[in-house]
Amino acid sequence: MYQWNRFHLEETTLCTQGMQYNVAKATIRDVAKQAGVGVGTVSRVINASSAVSPETRQRVLVAIEELDYRPNPSAQRLSRGRTHTIGVIAPFFIADSYIHRLRGIQSLLENTEYDLVLFNVENQTQRRRIFQNLPGSERIDGLILISLTPTEPEAHKLLNIGVPVVLIDAFHPHFNYVTVDDVAGGELAAQHLLYLGHTKIAFVSDFIDDPDAFNSSNRDRLAGYQIALTDAGMAIDVPYLAHGQLGAQSAKALTRQLLSLQDPPTAIFAANDLKAIAVISAAEEMGFHVPDELSVIGYDDIEIADYLNLTTIRQPLFDTGLEGVKLLLNLIDDVEKTTYQTLLPIELVIRQTTAPVRAHNSSVTELDYLRSH
């Protein structure tokens, strides 16, 4: 677990010319003693309570100023019934897509009193531990799950932690969510390749039915790919469905297998941009030129996709984080239990890793494709 927050220190260490001096900061008890009142009275003054006489309030304020007293932010929050802390549970949050979503979340929180606490999930053991010890209202005011579709037992636990929950890039009927239509995204990617004349289109992704899979995006993108091919009157060629472990090395190995088939694909749809980049690397190592001999399309449109001129499906990663935390903050302030379900738009971004298929002497060109849209 990593935590981004503001810290209050009761004691500060000053270093001057190699020497250390411990400067003890004034406490609330010091203020109460100097003002000649109880600790509770000082607390009421700090929290702007009206249950203090003007004369007493003035004495306390003078004592606070003379002692340079700084109230403990955490204590203040708890006294007001709020922790002003948002929890986020995310898998592999050092990956680009998660970083963009977290930036969207933080971009809104940095202008509020809220702190952000991150819980990282990279395997089923960590996932079970976090769901067994979910933070409740004593620690957080709301919780965001990124790319983690709750199982029914997990959903039951989430419904009982006493704070609002919002899902990002995931869906469950009992929770508010912000996501994109990955089925439509997969369909759009495959349609682009079909319009370019490709009929031998492979799909590369993580294992679809892996128990360690965290969400359904790969499955949904595959479903979209299958819809597009079926609508085009094409059969789904099982050897072209390549699923493997998470990571670039697995994607490269799958690409080598696909391009070694007796009838290799002329196009590959990778379930995310990082896999697409690995596909391109493996193809070029085998002597296939992209896009002349192999078209490749990714998904996400992370920053490096633009740099590498990768054709991809753009989803608003930053905006899903921004809209997710905006929704959560509204729910924290709203006692209504309305379920909000938000689908953000996706779009095809055509760059330089897809081209008309040459093997069939197709007359389709990029210009023809653009005109048809």
Tell me the two tokens of residue 262. Answer: 């007796």
Q: Which of 252, 251, 269 is nearest to 198 (CA)?
A: 269
More confident position, 96 or 234: 234
Sign, CA dihedral 50-53-55-56, equals: negative
Residue 207, SS3? coil
pLDDT for position 10: 33
Contact between residue 164 and residue 338 where contact means Cβ atoms under 8 Å apart = no
Q: What is the mean pLDDT of residues 335-359?
A: 84
pLDDT for position 361: 41
Q: Over the stretch 115-127, which tens digit does the pLDDT of each residue have?
A: 999 998 888 889 9
| Phi, psi (deg, nearest 5) at residue 252 | -65, -40
Residue 206: beta bridge partners?
Answer: 244
d(Cα 248, Cα 253) in Å, to the nearest integer?
9
Contact between residue 104 and residue 118 where contact means Cβ atoms under 8 Å apart = no
* DSSP one-letter string for 295-359: EEEEEE--HHHHHTT-EEEE--HHHHHHHHHHHHHHHHH----PPPEEEE--EEE--SS----TT
**280 pLDDT higher than 80:** yes
Residue 278: beta bridge partners?
Answer: none
**133 pLDDT higher than 60:** yes
This prediction has a pTM of: 0.74
**320 pLDDT higher than 80:** yes
Residue 84: beta bridge partners?
Answer: none
pLDDT for position 7: 31
At 314, the amino acid letter reads R
CA 108 to chain CA centroid, nearest Å: 14
**2 pLDDT higher than 80:** no
Q: What is the mean pLDDT of residues 85-102?
A: 87
Contact between residue 273 and residue 310 where contact means Cβ atoms under 8 Å apart = yes
More confident position, 290 or 366: 290
**81 pLDDT higher than 90:** no
- Most confident segment among 77-86, 198-207, 358-367: 198-207
Strands 201-206, 241-244: pairing is: parallel
d(Cα 65, Cα 72) in Å, to the nearest integer?
15
Q: Beta-strand (E) ranges in the chain?
A: 2-4, 11-16, 19-24, 85-91, 115-121, 142-146, 165-168, 176-180, 201-206, 241-244, 267-270, 295-300, 311-314, 341-344, 347-349
**9 pLDDT higher than 50:** no
d(Cα 221, Cα 205) in Å, to the nearest integer?
9
| Phi, psi (deg, nearest 5) at residue 330 | -65, -40
pLDDT for position 49: 56
The rounded percent of the chain whose pLDDT value lies above 70 is 82
- Name the DSSP class of 137: T
pLDDT for position 47: 63
Q: How confident is the model at residue 200 (pLDDT cuts 50, 70, 90)?
A: very high
Q: Over the stretch 134-163, which tens digit does the pLDDT of each residue have?
A: 998 889 999 999 999 999 999 999 999 999
Average pLDDT, the chain: 84
More confident position, 288 or 20: 288
**128 pLDDT higher than 70:** yes
Q: What structural domains and CATH numbers belong to the chain?
A: 11-79 (1.10.260.40), 85-180+318-344 (3.40.50.2300), 182-317+347-372 (3.40.50.2300)
d(Cα 102, Cα 174) in Å, to the nearest integer?
23
